Amino acid sequence: MRAPNDLLIERSPYECPFCDATHPIEIRKRLVQSLVKNEPVEYEQIYYYCPVENDEFIPSRIMDHNLLKARDAYRREKGLLNSDDIKEIRKSYDLTQKEFSNLLGWGDITVQRYETKLIQDATYDNLMRMVAENPSLALKSLDRHKNYFLPERYLEIRTLIKSKIRDKGNYLLRVQEIKNYYIDFEEESDFNGYKLLDLDGINRVLGYFAKFVNPYKVKMMKLLWYTDALHSKLFKTSMTGLVYQHLPLGAVPLGYNELLSLPSVKVEEEYVNDYIGYRIYPLEEINLSSFTLEELNILNSVANFFRDKNTDEVIKYMHEEVAYQETEPKQIIPYSLAQKVRGFES
Ligand SMILES: [Zn+2]
């Protein structure tokens, strides 16, 4: 008997230790409990299954992967950065593991360990987090540990961090613009789906659709609404905290133009027949593991359902929603109506 959350990832030929022969084996994953630092955590374990012997095994390379997943689950539980987060921060500064370590004043292999096996303590976690959020601190730390670097490389890194400081300033201005639209929605209500505006979440969702659907602007707004409506229908809260207005082209979130200046996406003008279309492209890699499985399911079904529909078809589809028909032009669309969204399977 398999657990209900047991999932087949793929079948592929592998040298089976039971049969002493190479034959197709099933690579599967399942939710299991494990102890990390004496605390129980749940994580997705990958294992190999031989259908001939009806038995399972875990190759040592996969064992390492599972260990990392278990530790990441522990980190998530404790609110620590996981290995992907750390890698992401490091990559955002375009540094090797050794360089990032040295920039923080640590030994050459500390970051490498955190990205592969070791769990960082809270002090180290804090430092990485602060450097991620505040490039000025990264610059200070770099200057303080200048002697770790060759002079040329030091200057290169310095230039890059300085441009990040400028970008960050612009970014904070844009975030403030978006927040201004939500000034009247600072409490959980039927208008934001009982969730406060989550800009990181919105950034990730935009990046997801940019990558997997690559929609035009109007269609992107509908993808957001369907994502939130579906999440609200299934889990009683919106996914992003966005507030949507009834506009002629369907539901559109407040501050929609400003949302598209979030860092995960870029907008490009394209001429389609005689029109200018604004197409949304991904700008940075989205860390899929920062979504929950439920969120990924929703995103995936929205993407699949609308991927091949053009903007007009999406608008038409939206116009038939109860949430659209029972609201007036310019009215905020309450989530209690959004929850009546038609279900769709792709
Ligand atoms: Zn076998």
Residues 236-264: pLDDT tens digits? 999 999 999 999 999 999 999 999 999 89
Residue 123 has pLDDT above 80, yes or no: yes
pLDDT at residue 221, rounded to an integer: 97
- CB of 339 closer than 8 Å to CB of 233: yes
What pLDDT, in 10s, does the model give residues 160-184?
Answer: 999 999 888 888 888 999 999 999 9
DSSP three-state, residue 266: strand
CB 279 within 8 A of CB 219: no
Centre of ligand 1 to C-alpha 17, Å, is 7
Alpha carbon of 29 to those of 7, 47, 229: distances in Å? 5, 6, 30
44: its two tokens: 């997705």
pLDDT in the model for residue 167? 84
- pLDDT tens digit string along 310-342? 989 999 999 999 999 999 999 999 999 999 999
Q: Is the pLDDT of residue 20 over 80?
A: yes
Ligand 1 midpoint to CA 47 (Å)? 14
35 CA distance to ligand 1 middle (Å): 29
Measured in Å, residue 28 CA sits from the centre of ligand 1 at 15
Instruction: Report the distance separating Cα 215 and Cα 280, nearest Å.
Output: 6
- Rounded to the nearest angstrom, the distance between the alpha carbon of 19 and the centre of ligand 1 is 4
Distance 52 CA to ligand 1 centre (A): 5
| Alpha carbons 232 and 192: distance in angstroms, whole number | 10
Domain boundary assignment for the chain: 7-78, 83-170, 199-338
Q: What is the pLDDT of residue 3?
A: 65
CA–centroid distance, 10 to ligand 1, in Å, is 15
Q: Convert the pLDDT of each residue in 268-320 to its tens digit.
A: 998 877 778 899 999 988 888 889 889 999 999 999 999 999 989 999 999 99
| C-alpha 13 to ligand 1 mean position (Å) | 10
pLDDT in tens, 73-117: 999 889 999 988 999 999 999 999 999 999 999 999 999 999 988
